[in-house]
Structures are given as structure tokens and as C-alpha cells.
Structure 1
């Protein structure tokens, strides 16, 4: 049983999620117990297919656990969670809308008046560096600009927690590093809580305050590791930081059984 702290925002307690198909029953995660603190970036790390995205869907209220409990801010998640915003690997920008039109969508759904909406969109575009591209359409943007636009739209929903499912996975290494640094800056300045799914060990080591390492299928939590890096960190200089190297190597060692052979029995923490 997990010991609940005052600043815990998301808590999974002995959570198992199974799916029934016409052919058979499939268990995505088993007996997962972990917590995420307010203002923390929690990276969910593991090989593809180990159930990481299932935790995001449970947090969002898109799924309900087969066993166990998911708490958000002290209350069970029942139905769609209005405190979270979700971003997947695909940006899902509306091609018939400009950049500012895409970012405005959550504000329109919230019935914000036009003046307040325009002011907020302008503020968010400046925040992500797209102020000069407000009237551009998605097909006129680079891959990195599209991601920035999607991130601005996510922030426009004004939710305290972000759920991100491999949002930078399809980008080249240099662009990914640039967006990771921008993302970290925004999270710190806005004190956002983040659950971030990746199978990229370097990305996990760079961004995490806490790294939840999954092993096996069904997915189980093998270890929960606190980052040795300071909360404020320069991603561009991590390659010369010995703490980053040690943390990356530790994560590699934990995932090695899934990459090279049979998975040992995992113990939830």
C-alpha cells in the first residue's frame, strides 16, 4: 500500500486493467501502485506494449480499472477528468484552421468571449514562439512548428495536468532536443503536473523528476527512480553532466532484461 503524501495529485493503487476481445482476455497492466506529486514531471518508461498509455487513459477517465483504484486530487476518477489535457504523438491540427484558429478551439468550447479568447491565443503563441505564424495553416508549418501549435492548444485548455503520449517521438534528434527544452521551460514556469509516456531512455533521463520504469507484458512497475538532476536544468549541457550519464545507464540496466531476454518477476513500488 502506498503512503499518501499531502502533495500527491495522482495515485494508482494496485491497478490492473484487462480488456476483453471476442477471442480472448488481455491484461495491459497488473498491480500498478505509484503516485505523482503536484508540479512533478513523471516519465512512464518502458518498451512498446507494456501498458504505459493505459495509465494515461485511466488518469483521463477514458478507461476504468478492472481492479484497484485511481485517485486524482484525493477523489476517485469517475468519468472524464476535467483537470487534465491530453496530447498524443499525432498533433491532430485542424487543416482548415489557421494556427490561431487551432489554438482557440479549447477556448471556444469553454465559451470564452471573443476579446478574452483573442488575448489568450496571442499570449500562448508568444509563449511557444509562434506569434509571427498566427495566420499560417498547418500545411505551411514545419514539424516542429506543428508540435508547438499543438502544445499551445493543449495549454489553452488551462488544465493543471498534462498527459503526453510520445509527443516528440517522430521528430529528428536536434528538433526533439529543442522542443524538450521548450517543454521543460513551460512546465516549470506554469507549475504543471505531467505524466509523459516514452520508450526513449535518453528523453526519460533528460526530462524526468521521477521515472516509473515498466517491465513485462502485462506491464508492471519494476522501479520508481527519482532524478539526480536539479529541478532547473539545462538540457543542452546534459551530455557533459556525469549525473545524467549515471541515471541514463541505470535506466538502461533496468530495461535490459526486456530488450535481451525473458523478463524477471517485477515488483511494484
Structure 2
């Protein structure tokens, strides 16, 4: 029996596993960053160079050099979040740019411009870090669900393709009147492949990504599988499998009668 392989799904799984590694590494990096931020001793809001404002703490026009806490935050972020192996290839941002994207502009201004980590800033920084960890946890759960979907589809298509190949070898030794039974089995396999495609489409259209802001099921796979020859690898491999089965069904009608 020939070995079968769903090439597009296999490639998609490789890309997906890479994304799982990236997200997991980033979550771990933010967890290490959180541990270091928790140990900081925030600056008193009455320290020279800062004053209380209506929305929290604001800098005076001439801000003093950054305090020890602000320097520690910058260093900790650089040594944790920016130290993940894929950072340059995937983001290519400066420390300030990535920090601001992850924790927000207000906190970034305090850490990089005002140079003070007051208690309110410290609290906001920890809250933003927690959110970054939660977002990646949710993302990882989505990726694992996606991986399970791909593996189920691959295994079912592999099975259908293997069985279709086996039935195809029987056609040359089966008389024409008996080929209707083989064709019925092939038809059943075709229905299974169509079911795989339908199930996959339902997942893509119905996937709940409410916690992944701005990401729908279709957008997610377009992002994950941009390097694939098909951004819907399951549908592409299912279509190929169906065509393989239909080829065997056509043979049921066109092969000459078996010779004894």
C-alpha cells in the first residue's frame, strides 16, 4: 500500500509549531519580566522632578535622570522580552517601540521620558504585563485547537487516500459487474473527504476569537499560513484527495474487463 501524505497540512503543522514556540517563549519572557518588576521599589510621587496631576503622575519640564527603578525596568525588558530568539526576525523594533506597543504609551512615557516609576506607574506596568501574558495564553489555546483540527483532518484524509489506493489496485482483478461495490466504497470515502472540508470551514467561520482582538478565523489562518502554497491547507488537501478518489471511480467505468 503506498504511503500517503497531506503535504500542505504537514507544512502548515510545521509553521504552526513554530508559532506555538514563539508564543510560548514570549509568554515565558513576560513572566520573567513580571517577576523582576514585582521586586521594584517604586519612586515616591513626591520625589524631585515629578508632580501629581489629575490623571496620575506627570513630569516637570526639566526631568532629572531616570531613577533606579526606571533603569531596572528598561534593563529587565531588554533581558527578557527582547531576548527571545525570534525577536529581531519577527518584530525588528527598538526597545522603546516594543515596550510602548505592549504596555501602552502612558507607561512608556513615564519609564523612558519622565524616568520615574511611581506606585501608580508600577501598578499600571504590572497590569499591562499580566494582560500580555493572558493574551499569549489565550493565543496558545487557539493554536493548540488549530493543531488538533489539522491533525484530525490529516489523519482522516490519509486514511481515505490509503483506502482509495487499495481499492484502486483491486480494480484490475475485479470483473466489471463487481466494480459497482468498489465504486460505492469510493463514493463513501469521497463523502468523508467532503465532510472533512465542511467541518474545517465551519471551524474557520465559527471559531471564537473574541479575546484575540481584530482576529477572525479566516484572518488567523491567513497569518499563520502565509508561507504555504494554500492559506487553507485542509481544504486544498481535501480537494486533492477527492480528485484522487474520483480518478479511481472513473477507472471503475473505463477499465476493460479483468482477465482470468
TM bracket (short chain): under 0.3
| Higher alpha-carbon Rg | 2
Structure-2-length-normalised TM-score: 0.23
Instruction: Pick the structure with more strand per residue.
Output: 1
Instruction: Pick the structure with more helix per residue.
Output: 2
